[in-house]
Structure 1
Amino acid sequence: MEGVSWKSAILEGAYDACGWLAFAFWSSCLYPQLFLNFRRKSVVGLNFNYALMNNTKHAVYFIYNACLYFSPDVQFQYRSKYGFHQMIPVAANDVALSFHFVVLTLLTLLQIATYDRGNQSLSKFTIIMVGGVWLGVVVCCFVAWPSHSWLWFLSILTSIQVCMTAIKYIPQALMNYLRKSTEGFSIGYVLLDFSGGTLSYAQMIMQSIDQNSWVNLYGNIGKVLLSLVSMLFDLVFMWQHYLLYPNTKGPHSSKLDEQITEPLVTPLSQQDTSVTTPDKSSTIQGA
């Protein structure tokens, strides 16, 4: 971090250790879901709206981190606003982590496209919202380009990240509630995500203590809010898994396992082909 150095070698070492530990936890948190889907050859129980919004959120977060970490212009604008003695609040592990998440969430979407889906599908609202997000990102980029207002552009990305994070968990939490089960949604993801969030907060606090300034927190409010919202929903999922619906192998699970595979979009020609077969016993009784 050019022009800014750590005052305490101990805090610097602890900061780096927490950063890479958070990277290890966060980068591992999506693997339990991928392995669970692969083992079951099914994505029943994983909400597709959550999966698509999760990919969008991480892609936007990667753009944010890459701009702030690699671009001298963005770093100059950041220090002009918050002080030239301030450290850039994005580390190498943040960039690596966000790129890693983009790849893993794309693999999850690929599993959704290929594995047994039961009767689940993407909602039109989610598709329209995600399309609107990317359209907004492109428009804001073109608006910022002539005046090089990149810090403003990053603030827009921050707002998108926080909104997507707040919204994306709701479909999965609601689905768990309606099914009265968390089967199909990996609790390993939740535990690793919560651990990563805790270490991320510890990392930011260490940097603030070393620099004797809390600009690191409100200057990177996006990262703070993202971690906070994610950890709150992690607590909700833990509550559902361990307290509300601890017996995941219940009757709801067996019913879902018996559902047939349906396409993500049902063709109109197939919507009216179902014919109700009269019950044999009722026919005899009527005779």
Structure 2
Amino acid sequence: MASWNSIPLEIAYQVLGWTAFIAWTFAPWPQVILNFRRKSVVGFNFDFVLLNLTKHTSYLIYNATLYFSSDVQKQYFEKYGSKELQYVSEKYGSKEMIPVAANDVAFSTHAVLLALIHLLQIAIYERGSQTFSKVSIGIVSVVWFTAGVCFFIALPTHSWLWLINIFNSIQVVMAAIKYTPQAFMNFKRKSTDGFSIYIICFNFTGSVANFMQMAVQSIDQNSWVNFYGNIGKILLSLVSTFYDLIFLCQHFLLYPARKENVPGKINEEKDPLIDSFNQPDHSQNV
């Protein structure tokens, strides 16, 4: 890895990176806990889980390959190093940096594992009439078929950077569409019951910290090549932030929790994560 020109910026980079990692690491857990406490996944959209698993698996392939493979890093520098990074290296006496940090790899690995846990909960808990849609199954099938074709295209020429950029593009597309089924379900039910808002709060924090981390790295290098050299990471932050704002608006403004039962809604208005701090002898409204 390259050396930093500013120690404070290096510290800020690490702090922001691991802040994003911690926020994104905690993001899926409230939904796991909510499903476990309710012994139900009603209200948690299955298509979101399936698309989310595809997204994070693609992102893990991109992050891990670029972070650990010296051959891919070489191809990256050959493509994005050019005159701009050579100038930075000569002026500041530092080497180019890859746009993937250790926290990115750690986050992707953890996210894949949590997505698998969500799938397990769907298999074992009450799910009502909810199923995976044919559309989401079709999308995932097309994505992995396309990825397989791209692998065989890249194999003869060892175009690994091109291949992992395909996976990076896949994760951006999946990020752009994976929230849509959940947002539409909330709109249709006029409720966010069954979908933990803590996912969104943590995800929003992680997205902002992730964007700021890349900005700090670019400021230190006096170059914005890290942004267009890893456009997928930037688009991920922007897309996630956009949908986070939609979910926050749905939860707090459009469909706040009701005190009474509403036909077709989940008969559990309190969030178990909050309710667990209450005294056990407190009365509850049904």
TM-score bracket, shorter-length normalisation = 0.7 to 0.9
Q: Which residue of 2 aligns with 1:35?
A: 33
Q: Which residue of 1 aligns with 2:206?
A: 196
Asked if 2 retains the 8 angstrom alpha-carbon contact of 1:21 and 1:199, the reply is yes
Asked if 1 retains the 8 angstrom alpha-carbon contact of 2:193 and 2:265, the reply is no
Cα shift at 1:142: 1.5
Question: How far does the alpha carbon of each residue in 1:115-144 deviate from its partner, in whole angstroms, 9 at most, with x for none?
Answer: 000111111111121112111112211110
* Sequence identity percentage: 59
Asked if 2 retains the 8 angstrom alpha-carbon contact of 1:27 and 1:101, the reply is yes
Distance 1:212 1:253 in 2: 58
Question: How far does the alpha carbon of each residue in 1:82-112 deviate from its partner, in whole angstroms, 9 at most, with x for none?
Answer: 1164210001110011000000000001000
- State which structure, 1 or 2, has the greater radius of gyration over its C-alpha atoms: 1
Q: Which residue of 1 aligns with 2:135?
A: 125
Asked if 1 retains the 8 angstrom alpha-carbon contact of 2:31 and 2:195, the reply is yes
**CA distance 1:248–1:154, change in 2 (3 Å):** farther
Cα shift at 1:191: 0.1
- Of the three residues 46, 51, 55, the one matched with 1:53 is 51
- Of the three residues 71, 74, 84, the one matched with 2:72 is 74
Distance 1:8 1:250 in 2: 57
Q: Which residue of 2 aligns with 1:213?
A: 223
**CA distance 1:253–1:15, change in 2 (3 Å):** farther
> What TM-score results when the alignment is normalised by the length of structure 1?
0.86
Question: How far does the alpha carbon of each residue in 1:216-257 deviate from its partner, in whole angstroms, 9 at most, with x for none?
Answer: 111100000011101100000000000001125554476445
Q: Which residue of 1 aligns with 2:277?
A: none
The runs of 5 or more residues in structure 2 that have no matched partner are 86-94, 269-286
Larger displacement relative to structure 2 (216-225 or 249-258): 249-258
Larger displacement relative to structure 2 (198-207 or 247-256): 247-256
Distance 1:253 1:229 in 2: 33
Distance 2:255 2:261 in 1: 12
Q: Which residue of 1 aligns with 2:24?
A: 26
Asked if 1 retains the 8 angstrom alpha-carbon contact of 2:189 and 2:264, the reply is no
Aligned residues: 256
Question: How far does the alpha carbon of each residue in 1:49-99 deviate from its partner, in whole angstroms, 9 at most, with x for none?
Answer: 011100110001000001100111100000011116421000111001100
Asked if 2 retains the 8 angstrom alpha-carbon contact of 1:62 and 1:98, the reply is yes
Distance 1:253 1:77 in 2: 58
Q: How does 1:134-213 map to 2 (within 5 A)?
A: 134-213=144-223
Question: How far does the alpha carbon of each residue in 1:230-286 deviate from its partner, in whole angstroms, 9 at most, with x for none?
Answer: 11000000000000011255544764459xxxxxxxxxxxxxxxxxxxxxxxxxxxx
The runs of 5 or more residues in structure 1 that have no matched partner are 259-287
Question: How far does the alpha carbon of each residue in 1:179-234 deviate from its partner, in whole angstroms, 9 at most, with x for none?
Answer: 00001000000000000011111100000000000001111000000111011000
AA partner of residue 217 (structure 1): F
> What TM-score results when the alignment is normalised by the length of structure 2?
0.87
Distance 1:228 1:252 in 2: 35
- Following TM superposition, the consecutive aligned residue runs of length 4 or more in structure 1 with deviations greater than 3 angstroms are 248-258
**CA distance 1:120–1:210, change in 2 (3 Å):** same
Alpha-carbon RMSD across the aligned residues, in angstroms, is 1.4
Distance 1:255 1:87 in 2: 50
Look up the SS of the partner of 1:109 in the other structure: helix
